[in-house]
A and B are shown apart, each in its own frame.
Chain A
Amino acid sequence: MKRHTIYAAFLLLLLSSCAWQGSVLIDPDDIIYTPFRFEPPKTQRVELENGIIVYVLEDHELPLVNISAVVRMGSFYDPPGKEGVAELTGTVMRTGGTRSMTGDQIDEDLDSIAGITAVSVETQSCTLSLSVLEEDLDRGLEIFSDILINPAFAEEKITLAKALETEALRRIRDNPQKTAFREFRRLIYRGDPRGRISSIESVERVKRGDLVTFHRQFFRPSNVMIAVSGDIQRENMVEKIRARLGGWNAPGVPGGFPPPPVHAKASLDYLFKDTPQSIVLVGHLAPGKENLDYYAFEVLDFIIGSGGFRSRVFGEVRNRLGLAYSAGSFYSSQTHYGIFGAYAMANASSTLDALSAMTKILNEVKSKGVEPEELAWAKQSIINNFIFSFATPDRIAVGQMMLEHDGLPDNFLTTYKNNIEKVGLDDLREVASRYLSEESRVVLVLGDRERFDRPLSSFGDFHVTEDGAGADQ
């Protein structure tokens, strides 16, 4: 091994003045890289007396501090008929003031110190983030904590947030991609709270009391984790957080997130949109992150469509057939469940060609598996790219916090590469047949069927669906 390296180094020296001239250009696959060992900096974990878990990582390169708080809540818990409550709770926490400050005062304070606070609400989590200059940390943290614990939900800011959300829903159908992915979500999660999505009507029904209740239910110390990175002193930072949040007392842990039910049968839905380009989505429920199938499915998804130009959907639908500019697949996984989808935004007159090509790819990985070279390529790509999980201190700190938030073991990251390495050809075929069954396949086609290459019925019985954004005017 060592000899090999020396030889290669010698060869490089010989080549050094003429790297690409003539025929001696080195084969890119033969380049030898100096191995390096990388130990990500250690994040410190502290549990406050009231149950808040804090991850801290110092980084003094720039005078900036980033704080993220993740809360186990989300649109999963939207009351039926009032879809949008979780989202509005997050929005108006940020805008609607606190017990000691109005929303306008907070805005003014934050803008004048160039601090940024944002709240994002997902299906199963809500993240409140703060980015602030080091010298303004105390003021920033004061506002941040107050928003977290004491939001006032001022009525006029609720009215504003509802109006803006309603307009956003009204405008969703102007965006074919957003429309399609929203609808896909409803279909893949049918019969599950995750498939209930806000509409103009459901947002209209939301009242201030709903937000107050929602906040009270989920914002509890034992349901909150915080990650801090940047220009801080660790001990000092923990003390600052303890001073602001340590006295917060609201015991109890709200419920968890049961996984969505598995579909009994396949579906084919058509959503009309007058557009020269159709959007085709083919989806399945997929394994959760704690599942041993997770690693094999990551590799499978990479090969099917998320591995760039070489992946099958991209290679076939875009490169070989030239039917689309955007095509590929995605796999998004939580604890206990995930979703997988292959997509293409195809020329309307090639809609059925694209759909057939995609389903054929899915069926083939089930029946024939994948090539050994594809497996090697996918594994090596995933493993080599893994280092970017540690590219910035903020990513490291938040990543560590999210592991605990998701209920994953804290060695998840250190064993990840090894687990990917172990994936074999048989594993891929096994997960493909377990999760990509035609009997549970959800297909959505958005477009104008008058312009399709063949009738959609030639692919199967289809259901004509409407977008769920709600009534206009």
Chain B
Amino acid sequence: MTSPKISLNLFLKGLVVTGVALLFLCGASRPCDAYDLIGKVKKFTLENGLKVLIVERHAGPTVALYISHPTGAIDDGDGHTGTAHFLEHMRFKGTETIGTRNPDEEKQILRRIHETGSTLDREEMKGDGADRQRIEELRKRLETLQVEAVKLSIPAEIDRLYTENGGGDLNAFTGQDITTYHVSLPANRIELWARIESDRLANPVFREFYSERNVVLEERKQRVASDPGGKLMEQFLSTAFIAHSYRRPVLGWASDMRFLDFNYTSEFFKIHYAPNNTIITIVGDVSPEGVMEVIRRYFGPLPRRVVPLRRVTEEPAQTGERRVEVNFDAAPRLIIGYHKPTLPSFDDCVFDVIDTILSGGRTSRFFKVLVEKKGIAADVTTANGYPGARYPNLFVIFAEPISPHTSEELEEALYEELDRLKREPVEMKELTKAKNQLKADLLRNLSTNSGLAGMLSYYEIVVGDWRYITTFLDLLEKVTSEDVMSAAGKYLTRQNRTVATLVKDK
């Protein structure tokens, strides 16, 4: 994360909640020819394997530019948690030609910084057996070198270039299995973007490596240590998954983050940011031919690299309810999750419907029953597809009891509602309402350049083909109340659930 404005959790949630896309937006009754998305998306593949999706639209004189890679925390490896996210921070530190006053001299200093830094890390990792005096010496040396390096660098050049050229929404997101960099620019500034982005794929320089480690540790304090929701989420995921990498937090565990490693991060970059592991999505006031000329010129020379097959441990079937408690000085809340398949499976689509029936709008079951009628909840939301989407994931319920009601009461009431889903078929009216809402959400997502770009790159990465959007609409049409009942019966079981509760410190 690079900007203080947007939270990682919100984004992940956004992916799940808004990631459900639609395009032939049809109202309930009318055939829909409103927006022929298929005809407008142009797809290109360069010789080096880089894929490009372009949509030309002329709503305003701007363009949204997304670059996504099918990587993230899932590729961190134990002992190196937080690497993917930290790399994202490093990628804003410039390149060999952006952000330096003297490339050759700077290179020498940076090399010495990394040698000193990794020696220092190795000593500190010894813990109680470490040589205190040596640590002090190394720290001082590192500090001196860093002061030297700062003199040779120009900080925040990438940000300066984008900002000065009118860039907005400059940000990046690291998820479990997708990492995205995006910016919106005045439509005539595409070449600036190509110049910067191709350069930081080819020649990045990881400046301020060691001071930035402190920044991500502060980020962790902000998002996890001081945030009851963040803290509970972390414990929830590491309980729900015992084998699959989804158990590891995107930000990383603090003890790993203290020792984020330069060589490991560089290697991670080389493997996962290869052009053949990259998808560019461009939506806005541009011509595909003009854009492709610029893209070929700048990104064409990037060499294809071997991306090794990822070995992922499959999460074994859950054998019974799991529970975890977090003590925190905050009002009670709970998270409940159920394992389920991911898209493009039909059951994932059924869970989008269940998600909407349970918590989409004021007439949803959770709001009606738990907030309005029983008055025991302050807030209940659900999300389909935590914490990633490329592997089997979770259907998640987030709930906050209203005082003086307790989490226990609320939990019981939630299960009653889930049981109703298993017991009684959903009426046609309610099912249609949920489908209409999903379709309309999708349509609203299309209304901004960045909404459309985000959606296309998401499906292209997660399913391997952005046209899943149409497949999804077909699947959605097919969902029946029997499907809802059977998916609820199959997955929303006690044996398959994980419950995390926040309990106030006494």
Which A residues fall within an 8 A CB radius of B? 15-21, 25-29, 31, 33-36, 38, 59, 61-64, 95, 104, 107-108, 110-114, 131, 133-136, 160, 163-164, 167-168, 170-171, 174-176, 274-277, 307-310, 315, 318-320, 322-328, 345-347, 377, 380-381, 383-388, 390-394, 473
Contact = CB atoms under 8 A, between A and B. Distances in A.
B275 to A, nearest CB: 13
B25 A62 contact: yes
Contact of B159 (A26, A309, A326, A346): A309
Contacts of B195: 19-20, 25-26, 28, 31
Most chain B beta carbons < 10 A, residue from A29, A134, A346: A29
Nearest to B405: A167
A393 B156 contact: no
Nearest first, the 6 A-B pairs at minimum CB distance are: A384-B166, A309-B156, A114-B440, A326-B4, A309-B159, A322-B214
Contacts of A345: 218, 222
A61 B221 CA distance: 44
Given A25-B199, A322-B214, 17 more contacts: A28-B196, A36-B187, A61-B35, A95-B362, A112-B429, A131-B444, A310-B156, A310-B159, A319-B156, A322-B215, A325-B215, A325-B222, A385-B163, A386-B166, A387-B186, A391-B184, A392-B60
B61 A36 contact: yes
Nearest to A387: B186
A2 to B, nearest CB: 17
Contact of A328 (B4, B164, B221, B364): B4
Contacts, number: 235
Given A315-B156, A391-B60, A28 B437 contact: no
Contacts of A326: 4, 222
B320 interface: no
B447 A473 contact: no
B378 A167 contact: yes
- Which of the four size classes fits the interface of chain B? 35 or more
B17 to A, nearest CB: 14
Interface in B201-242: 202-203, 208, 211-212, 214-216, 218-219, 221-222, 225-228
A377 B400 CA distance: 46
Given A25-B97, A63-B443, A111-B433, A171 B400 contact: yes
B160 interface: yes
Interface of B: 2-4, 25, 27-30, 32, 34-35, 57, 59-62, 92, 97-98, 150, 155-156, 159-161, 163-168, 170, 184, 186-189, 191-192, 194-196, 198-199, 202-203, 208, 211-212, 214-216, 218-219, 221-222, 225-228, 297-298, 301, 329-331, 360-364, 371-372, 375, 378, 400, 402-404, 429, 432-433, 436-437, 439-441, 443-444, 446-449
Contacts of A104: 363
Most chain B beta carbons < 10 A, residue from A160, A308, A318: A308
Contact of B189 (A19, A33, A164, A319): A33
Nearest to B439: A114
Contact of B184 (A21, A168, A174, A388): A388
A346 B27 CA distance: 49
A133 B156 contact: no
B297 A17 contact: yes
Most chain B beta carbons < 10 A, residue from A61, A114, A170: A114
Contacts of A170: 331, 403
B155 A325 contact: no
Contacts of B440: 114, 133
A318 B187 CA distance: 31
A117 B187 CA distance: 33
A174 B212 CA distance: 28
B403 A20 contact: no
B433 A62 contact: no
18 contacts: A61-B447, A62-B443, A113-B28, A163-B375, A167-B331, A167-B378, A174-B329, A174-B331, A274-B329, A308-B159, A308-B163, A309-B2, A322-B214, A326-B4, A346-B218, A385-B167, A387-B186, A473-B404
A327 B448 CA distance: 28
Contacts of B372: 160
Nearest to B225: A276
Most chain B beta carbons < 10 A, residue from A131, A135, A174, A318: A174
Given A112-B429, A385-B166, A391-B448, A325 B4 contact: yes
A275 B168 CA distance: 33
B55 to A, nearest CB: 11
A174 to B, nearest CB: 4
Given A114-B436, A136-B27, A309-B156, A61 B378 contact: no
Contacts of B168: 385, 388
Contact of A38 (B61, B194, B225, B363): B61
Given A325-B215, A391-B449, A63 B34 contact: yes
Contacts of A131: 444
Nearest to B167: A385
A31 B375 contact: no
Contacts of A275: 225-226
Contacts of B222: 277, 325-326, 345
A391 B4 contact: no
Contacts of B360: 111
A113 B436 contact: yes
Contact of B164 (A113, A346, A381, A392): A381
A64 B59 CA distance: 14
B148 to A, nearest CB: 14
Contacts of B198: 19-20
B152 to A, nearest CB: 15
Contacts of B203: 20
B156 A277 contact: no
Contacts of A309: 2, 92, 155-156, 159-160
A99 B45 CA distance: 59
Contact of B402 (A18, A34, A167): A167
Contacts of A29: 161
A390 B61 CA distance: 8
Contact of B59 (A35, A61, A171, A315): A61
Contacts of A31: 191-192, 195
Nearest to B60: A391
A328 B159 CA distance: 14
B449 A33 contact: no
A61 B62 contact: no
A164 B221 contact: no
A380 B202 CA distance: 29
A326 B363 CA distance: 37
A59 B59 contact: yes
A308 B3 contact: yes
Nearest to B360: A111
A219 to B, nearest CB: 22
B371 A164 contact: yes
A327 B214 CA distance: 14
A420 to B, nearest CB: 12
Nearest to B162: A308
Nearest to A386: B166
Contacts of B166: 381, 383-388
Nearest to A380: B164
A63 B25 contact: yes
A472 to B, nearest CB: 8
B409 to A, nearest CB: 14
A308 B375 contact: no
B170 A20 contact: no
B60 A390 contact: yes
Contact of B170 (A27, A175, A308): A308
B375 A19 contact: no
A388 B375 CA distance: 43
Contacts of A310: 155-156, 159-160, 163
Nearest to B62: A391
Most chain B beta carbons < 10 A, residue from A27, A35, A171, A327: A171
Nearest to A393: B59
Contacts of B25: 62-63, 133
A63 B319 CA distance: 48
